[in-house]
Amino acid sequence: MIIKPRYSKFDTAWRILVILTVLVQATLLPLDFLFELRFQRWYDMLDLVITVIYLLDFGENMHRYKRIQKHAVYKDIYWDTYSSGKFFISDVLAILPYAFLFSHPAFQFLRMFKWVKVLRTMHFFQIRNIRNTTRSSLWFLLIGTFLVAHWFSCIWLRIHGFEADISHLDNYIKALYYIVTTLTSVGYGDIVPNGNAEMLFNILLQLTGVGLIAFLVGSVVGLFTKRNPAEQRFTENMEKLRALIHYHDIPSELEKRISDYFTYEWKQKLGYDESELMESLPFGLKNDLQLEFKNRTIKHISIFEGVDEKFVREIALYLTPIVLTPGDYLFRTGDVANSMFFVKKGKISVLTEDEKQELTILKSGDFMGEIALFKKSNRTATVKSIGYSDIYELHKKEFEKVIKKYPDIALRIKEKSISREQRYI
Amino acid sequence: MIIKPRYSKFDTAWRILVILTVLVQATLLPLDFLFELRFQRWYDMLDLVITVIYLLDFGENMHRYKRIQKHAVYKDIYWDTYSSGKFFISDVLAILPYAFLFSHPAFQFLRMFKWVKVLRTMHFFQIRNIRNTTRSSLWFLLIGTFLVAHWFSCIWLRIHGFEADISHLDNYIKALYYIVTTLTSVGYGDIVPNGNAEMLFNILLQLTGVGLIAFLVGSVVGLFTKRNPAEQRFTENMEKLRALIHYHDIPSELEKRISDYFTYEWKQKLGYDESELMESLPFGLKNDLQLEFKNRTIKHISIFEGVDEKFVREIALYLTPIVLTPGDYLFRTGDVANSMFFVKKGKISVLTEDEKQELTILKSGDFMGEIALFKKSNRTATVKSIGYSDIYELHKKEFEKVIKKYPDIALRIKEKSISREQRYI
Amino acid sequence: MIIKPRYSKFDTAWRILVILTVLVQATLLPLDFLFELRFQRWYDMLDLVITVIYLLDFGENMHRYKRIQKHAVYKDIYWDTYSSGKFFISDVLAILPYAFLFSHPAFQFLRMFKWVKVLRTMHFFQIRNIRNTTRSSLWFLLIGTFLVAHWFSCIWLRIHGFEADISHLDNYIKALYYIVTTLTSVGYGDIVPNGNAEMLFNILLQLTGVGLIAFLVGSVVGLFTKRNPAEQRFTENMEKLRALIHYHDIPSELEKRISDYFTYEWKQKLGYDESELMESLPFGLKNDLQLEFKNRTIKHISIFEGVDEKFVREIALYLTPIVLTPGDYLFRTGDVANSMFFVKKGKISVLTEDEKQELTILKSGDFMGEIALFKKSNRTATVKSIGYSDIYELHKKEFEKVIKKYPDIALRIKEKSISREQRYI
Amino acid sequence: MIIKPRYSKFDTAWRILVILTVLVQATLLPLDFLFELRFQRWYDMLDLVITVIYLLDFGENMHRYKRIQKHAVYKDIYWDTYSSGKFFISDVLAILPYAFLFSHPAFQFLRMFKWVKVLRTMHFFQIRNIRNTTRSSLWFLLIGTFLVAHWFSCIWLRIHGFEADISHLDNYIKALYYIVTTLTSVGYGDIVPNGNAEMLFNILLQLTGVGLIAFLVGSVVGLFTKRNPAEQRFTENMEKLRALIHYHDIPSELEKRISDYFTYEWKQKLGYDESELMESLPFGLKNDLQLEFKNRTIKHISIFEGVDEKFVREIALYLTPIVLTPGDYLFRTGDVANSMFFVKKGKISVLTEDEKQELTILKSGDFMGEIALFKKSNRTATVKSIGYSDIYELHKKEFEKVIKKYPDIALRIKEKSISREQRYI
């Protein structure tokens, strides 16, 4: 029995709650030192609530750890557990309700041990939630900047002291304004440090500011250079096209067709070939994925109706994909026929030899040329793509390889395909 | 019938007009709030004009959307339409002439909905107009910076109030000066915020400034690292050459020849092999592109004059390109001859065996060695490239494959090539 | 006899001592100029100690140089020696105890020649200590920034003069505060330069500040873009998966399996295929490395016990690795058997044909299907991976190739494998 | 006859003179506007000198252009000529001695047209002088920054006016100090703009400052990310090794051997395989380069002495390179011999079968195993590399292919190789 410790919605919600709890605590902690909040009732209540939340979180983690330890399968993947002792210890240290236990406020800082766990969880979120990596990075940056500014403001107020003629809030806003002015390296100079302590604090503050800016710029540059790989492929293709035009002076009509194709590819496939992903997968997964793609196209094809699932799976492995751009010919009247085609996507026009009459239009799920699989013949129609089309081709040779093992199925398919009206093959 | 909704010049002009309209509106909006422009006649007139422009734009978009919806071929490419409801709604909301309809100025902000459409159009321009991506990015950045500074200036004037002893314009310039000083993080400190509101505004302003700078640096870094791929290839090649020289100490004359070749390649082909682009194209386009290149060379060749188009197209597929650097030999007297050559570009010197006498010089469109296609023979001259030359080679084997299907053409070409003076083959 | 001049722990400690000595000297030097430390006894003593340390270091380097020169093998690798004359000269110049020899303080600066050697050593550390490159870069940056700020502060005090009413320390802190304020481009403006000298000094200071910030940002950006290659591969794979989902709408269960596999690959192999490294190695090393991996698996396998080492080494070369994801089949009952398997890592379940009964579980070091190597047969069980497993496969063909040369071993293995209970093969 | 318009030393010196002239002019121009230098004799003289230099440069360029136009070979490479009209016009406009011709100073600005040519030349230098690209970029940046600060300072003095109580020089330094303070975004605030004109000037100045910083950061980041490709390869290899160690726990001795090999490869070959460069070259150059490498090794080999050059060239093409790490075996006593070896670099120890006695040491230029080319035999010694060695291998098969065409040479080589003492083969 295989266990999949995937995160449920409840689980995600719980983790976010824990993160928020830690943030609230980190915000209140320096305020406690400034305004002695710990002597107020609501702060004590909050501390109790936080203790309970931490306790529950610890229990949940222990439970998860044991469960994973036992079933072992995914142990390597879900690594944010107590597998190494230090997380265990830091979590236990964070639980204790220091506000109750000790009178000295310094103990409160020990609660910050919970950060260890939270940072780990945030990192884990960021990695698994690959779709919104950028957005979550931005959130972490914003929260981090706020906390840094907030802590520095409180420390500044501690060193500099409060101005008596304005309220506490005014004092705090003034401090925050001073801190941000310095961190962003604006430095108006209307508030300046006096004395060695303030100056040394200021030096630290300014260096932190430069570090933060460098970090911010680094993140932004990361976003700018680490472009979406599909867009990157599109841009590269367009660059190649540009180089070609520069050197060869090809007709603008052909240029347009090529540029349209690249745009189509980008928008439709996000510029990725399936095969690229396939290569990085082990055999088992690769096989399942291929079948998944092709089964969907084959299943709805009338001549394969009621046929053994196993046969269809085997056939699927031999389908090769073809892309047609608008106006491309799939084949022309008179060509030797040695494969059949399945339309996966798009519209295909079947025409008479002189292309003056449209016999029919094939759409997603349609197929053509099945006669080619059973007897030597030539195409009796001209087939042309209207827009962009995705086609699967099945070669006679491969079909014969599979059909050998299923002689009864061969017969049934042959009958069906003959009974079908066969204006074009 | 295939529809190509490519943008005409008129279309582009119209889109630029819409963008300008939105920019004008975005510039006037905060001024309206400061100076109550909406009670002035010219502002009302302008508002009306904008309404009409938005209305026309909406109509044009609806029309385009329906046309694309119907013909379906390029639907996937021209995606800046009303395919998703939200663009429809935001566009309709932006049309309403709020200045007329409502007395409260807040409604004016609703017009900003047009931004949604404009940003989309700008993004679209940026992508399709791949040649000037960098330049357009810069324009967007400049316009964006101006609008941000302008809006902040107006908000600052609103919070801070006007100084009575100087004119409105002076007030505005002073505000703009203050805003820019802060956004660029210069922060002279001659103008500083007073009171909580101004300080909080200032904190926001400074953070925006840092963000803008990070964004600017990110863009610039992007430009620096995302170099032109052709230049990149050139630089890489030169680096490789440098490594080689370091290790092997090759003669400086050979070093120069190699470095010249890389420069030639860069300047002429922008460092791209045609084949690289070919690989990313589907079969149909690839084929058309190849024919395009080679047809031009073959068409003007006298022995193929008057020959069936179909034959020439088939031959073209078998031509393989060769690059000769200055002084390279194509062949020497006495070598076994089993291919003919077409000069695509450059100058080729035909020499006697001892290379003392120059028999002739071949130029773009000339060909040589056609006898090799019809009978076993040895080269009767030495052929050497003067500068850089692009040559196409046609092998006997491939020629015979094609010519089999066209026996009458074979005869004609043979005759022609024999009648031609054949000093060298 | 091959000499390996690898750095011992003592050697590393010594080098760190030398670096620290240089840093202490660089810190004291400008202070000496300000406060005339050279007339104090402790400074003279320190100078003497430094001279001794430099002397010892010089001796050690000379010794190492001669030793390497003689044995020549690794000469090319350990390049931080006196191979080029300039390091010799700069080192000798740095030894002289200038404080004793000359009365003029300017000579003291000559000691800074030791920097040449130290920078070289630091660079060497950074390169060889590839595991902590980032951390050591950070340390260099911090130390460099401190030294720059310290030197500028001392120069500023020299130009600006001391304020008489505050202590020397206060003066120094104030200068440092001013320098940092300018270098970080905060520029409060409470201390400003007066007169041409101070202004020119200031211009230099500001340009240095911008340079330092650019350098810092450059380093941080480098860290952001130069991500761990394993993480990069993981991210790229996830991006490809995302593109696939966008285009193909595959079932979420398959999506999860693939995303789990990539996470497993990242965490377990750091996203690297062994083969990638193998390719960059010359034949000898490649061979040794391969044997190293596989020997460990084979050595503990019972049927190879007591067998000639040479035989095992040869067999090892033919083992091909397979990765199984949870639930993947290795083979099913009835499949044709033509290879045996060795479990390297993971848990493999051996089941009856209907998969209802679990016959046994194979673990790291177990093997199966050895009968397939000696006679034609079909699999008599179904084998499935429980979690992720790493397997080695040995094909009959390759086995026969090796065994031919060792007929006696062949016999022994065959006997052993028959005597073993053979419920499944 | 092929012309090589390569830059001689004189040519380079001349170009640098022209660049310097332009820089001097750009520095003096704004000073002229401030201090009316044009009414001083020395300025007029200088103007005359500049005119003469520009005239000479124009002549030289015309001459070069015509020469290149005529010989055509390298036309595409040396593109900094008058091929397009605009450079011709801008150059002519720059020659005119405006100081003499017109009284109004504005005409002086027209001389700045020379910049067009200078920027082009600088760009050309930067590209061709690939070895010092980074250094030259830095120089351009420094010069550019100085010019921008200088021009802004002069404009500021023009707008702000001179302070009467201090000298002109003091005024200039103060202006420069103010400009740099703003451009670096330090902004002390001791000098602030007054009035609209100064404020608008200031806004422009600040934006320029941010742009310059972004540009500087971009350049630095470019340097950080665009690492030397050889170092990059080394780092990547080390990263792979690290991943391997993490997963496989290989013995530290093997780890050291691999890490040493990568260091060797980096230091010796700069991490480049010759083959990588070869691939980007056309056939002719590729061939010449290969011969160049190998000829040097073969030429000094005694058995090939006096042999036809043509034969040696052909043999050279068949030599395949091998790298041996310290302790690697080339072959052991008893191995079948079917190739001979040439030592290119390093030291090879020839040992008895039990490796107890060293028969000889082979060095660069030595060869061994030549008997293997003429008769079936087994190795009679064990050969092992002492340090790192580069060897060329010549297989019997390839040798026989070449020797067929030169029967007389075959005989001579055979005789020589037999007459040679043949203790080991």
**Residues on chain B touching C221 (C-beta within 8 angstroms):** 221
Identify the CA nearest to C176 among candidates A206, B187, D177, D186: A206
Return the pLDDT at D425: 52
Strand, helix or coil at B330?
strand
pLDDT higher at B269 or B245: B245
Q: Would you place residue A76 in the very low, low, confident or very high pLDDT band (cuts 50, 70, 90)?
A: very low
Would you give the distance in Å from CA B307 to the centre of its chain? 38
Alpha carbon distance A280, C386 (integer Å): 21
Hey, what are D358's tokens? 């060293």
Return the pLDDT at D86: 62
Compare CB distances from A292 to C237, C254, C263 and report the shortest one's residue.
Answer: C254
The C-alpha angle with vertex C256 and arms to C255 and C260, in degrees rounded to 5, equals 120
Residue D325: Cβ-neighbour burial (10 angstroms; 0-12, 13-18, 19+): buried
Return the pLDDT at A157: 94
Which range is least confidently modeled, B286-300, C317-331, C370-384, D392-406?
Answer: B286-300
Return the pLDDT at D127: 60
Q: Would you place residue C123 in the very low, low, confident or very high pLDDT band (cuts 50, 70, 90)?
A: low
> Got the DSSP string for A317-375?
TT-EEEEE-TT-EEE-TTPEE-EEEEEEES-EEEE-TTS-SEEEEE-TT-EE-GGGGTS
Closest CA–CA distance from residue A219 to any residue of chain C (Å): 7
- D contact set with A (CB within 8 A): 185-189, 217, 221
- pLDDT over 90, % of chain A: 12
What is the phi/psi pair of residue B357, to 5°? -120, 130
Alpha carbon distance A425, A383 (integer Å): 10
Residue of C nearest to B225 (CA): C225
Identify the CA nearest to C306 among candidates C142, C187, C158, C416: C416
Residues A69-83: b if buried by 16+ CB within 10 A, e if exposed: eebebbbbbbebbbe
Helix (H) or strand (E) holding A218: helix A195-225
Averaged pLDDT of chain B: 78
Return the pLDDT at C377: 82
Hey, what are B285's tokens? 């386009």
Identify the CA nearest to B237 among candidates B208, B269, B193, B213: B269
| Tens digit of each residue's pLDDT (9 = 90 or more) over A276-333 | 677 778 777 887 787 777 777 777 777 777 777 777 777 877 888 888 888 888 888 8
Average pLDDT over residues B347-371: 85
Return the pLDDT at A424: 53
Q: Would you place residue C51 in the very low, low, confident or very high pLDDT band (cuts 50, 70, 90)?
A: confident
| Tens digit of each residue's pLDDT (9 = 90 or more) over C11-49 | 778 888 888 888 888 898 888 888 877 778 888 888 888
Residue B64 has pLDDT above 80, yes or no: no
Say yes or no for a CB contact (<8 Å) between C185 and B185. Answer: yes
Q: What is residue A302's DSSP assignment?
A: G
Which range is least confidently modeled, A243-247, A418-422, C111-115, D43-47?
Answer: A418-422
pLDDT higher at A270 or D407: D407
User: Are C217 and D220 spatial neighbours (Cβ–Cβ below 8 Å)?
Assistant: yes
Say yes or no for a CB contact (<8 Å) between A220 and B203. Answer: no
Say yes or no for a CB contact (<8 Å) between B180 and D193. Answer: no
Say yes or no for a CB contact (<8 Å) between B189 and A190. Answer: yes
Return the pLDDT at D153: 95
Among D76, D221, D226, D247, most A C-beta atoms within 10 A, so best to mutate, is D221
Return the pLDDT at B4: 45
CA dihedral C321, A79, A276, C331 (to 10 degrees): 40
Give me the residues paired with residue D361 across strands. D349
| Tens digit of each residue's pLDDT (9 = 90 or more) over C187-204 | 898 999 998 999 999 999
Q: Which amino acid is at C153?
A: S
User: Are D157 and D198 spatial neighbours (Cβ–Cβ below 8 Å)?
Assistant: no
Return the pLDDT at A204: 93
**Residues on chain D touching A226 (C-beta within 8 angstroms):** none
The C-alpha angle with vertex D345 and arms to D340 and D348, in degrees rounded to 5, equals 60
Residue B176 has pLDDT above 60, yes or no: yes
Return the pLDDT at D422: 54
pLDDT higher at C155 or B369: C155
> Got the DSSP string for C66-107?
HHHHHH-TTTTT---STTSHHHHHHHHHHHS-HHHH-SSGGG
User: Are A5 and A11 spatial neighbours (Cβ–Cβ below 8 Å)?
Assistant: no
Closest CA–CA distance from residue C247 to any residue of chain D (Å): 33
Residue A91 has pLDDT above 60, yes or no: yes
Closest CA–CA distance from residue A189 to any residue of chain D (Å): 8
Residue C118 has pLDDT above 80, yes or no: no
Residue B25 has pLDDT above 70, yes or no: yes
Return the pLDDT at C328: 84
User: Are A43 and A37 spatial neighbours (Cβ–Cβ below 8 Å)?
Assistant: yes
**Residues on chain C touching B186 (C-beta within 8 angstroms):** 187
Strand, helix or coil at C164?
coil
Hey, what are A61's tokens? 């983690």
Residue B422 has pLDDT above 60, yes or no: no
| Tens digit of each residue's pLDDT (9 = 90 or more) over D150-184 | 999 999 999 999 988 889 899 999 999 999 999 99
Residue D88 has pLDDT above 50, yes or no: yes
**Residues on chain B touching A217 (C-beta within 8 angstroms):** 213-214, 217-218
Return the pLDDT at B85: 60
Alpha carbon distance D344, A24 (integer Å): 70
| Tens digit of each residue's pLDDT (9 = 90 or more) over D247-289 | 667 777 787 788 778 877 776 664 456 666 777 787 778 777 7
Q: A247 Cβ partners below 8 Å, 6+ apart?
A: B268, B269, B270, B272
Compare CB distances from B221 to C186, C189, C221 and report the shortest one's residue.
Answer: C221
**Residues on chain B touching C190 (C-beta within 8 angstroms):** none
> Got the DSSP string for C11-61?
HHHHHHHHHHHHHHHHHHHHHHHHH-GGGSHHHHHHHHHHHHHHHHHHHHH
Return the pLDDT at B5: 44
Among B126, B270, B345, B390, most A C-beta atoms within 10 A, so best to mutate, is B270
Residues B87-100: b if buried by 16+ CB within 10 A, e if exposed: bbebbeebbbbbbe
**Residues on chain A touching C322 (C-beta within 8 angstroms):** 282-283
Q: Would you place residue B287 in the very low, low, confident or very high pLDDT band (cuts 50, 70, 90)?
A: confident
Q: Which residue has the tokens 């925006």?
A: B208
Q: Would you place residue D128 in the very low, low, confident or very high pLDDT band (cuts 50, 70, 90)?
A: low
Say yes or no for a CB contact (<8 Å) between C284 and D187. Answer: no
The highest-confidence range among B357-361, B365-369, C99-103, C155-159, by mean pLDDT, is: C155-159
Return the pLDDT at C424: 53
Return the pLDDT at D147: 92
The C-alpha angle with vertex C164 and arms to C161 and C165, in degrees rounded to 5, equals 140
User: Are A321 and A345 spatial neighbours (Cβ–Cβ below 8 Å)?
Assistant: no
> Got the DSSP string for C225-247?
HS--HHHHHHHHHHHHHHHHHHH
User: Are D282 and B324 spatial neighbours (Cβ–Cβ below 8 Å)?
Assistant: yes
**Residues on chain D touching C229 (C-beta within 8 angstroms):** 236, 239-240, 243
Q: Are strands A358-362 and D358-362 parallel, antiparallel or unpaired?
A: unpaired
Return the pLDDT at A226: 60
Residue D421 has pLDDT above 60, yes or no: no
Return the pLDDT at A127: 60
Give me the residues paired with residue C383 across strands. C331, C350
Pick the CATH number of C285-424 from 3.30.499.10, 3.40.50.11540, 2.60.120.10, 3.40.50.2000: 2.60.120.10
- Domain spans, chain C: 1-128, 229-268, 285-424
Q: B204 Cβ partners below 8 Å, 6+ apart?
A: none
| Tens digit of each residue's pLDDT (9 = 90 or more) over C131-183 | 556 667 778 888 888 999 999 999 999 999 998 899 989 999 999 999 999 99
**Residues on chain C touching D185 (C-beta within 8 angstroms):** 185, 187
Alpha carbon distance B102, B108 (integer Å): 9
Which range is least confidently modeled, A71-85, A362-376, C245-259?
Answer: A71-85
Compare CB distances from D184 to C206, C226, C271 and report the shortest one's residue.
Answer: C206
Average pLDDT over residues B288-317: 75
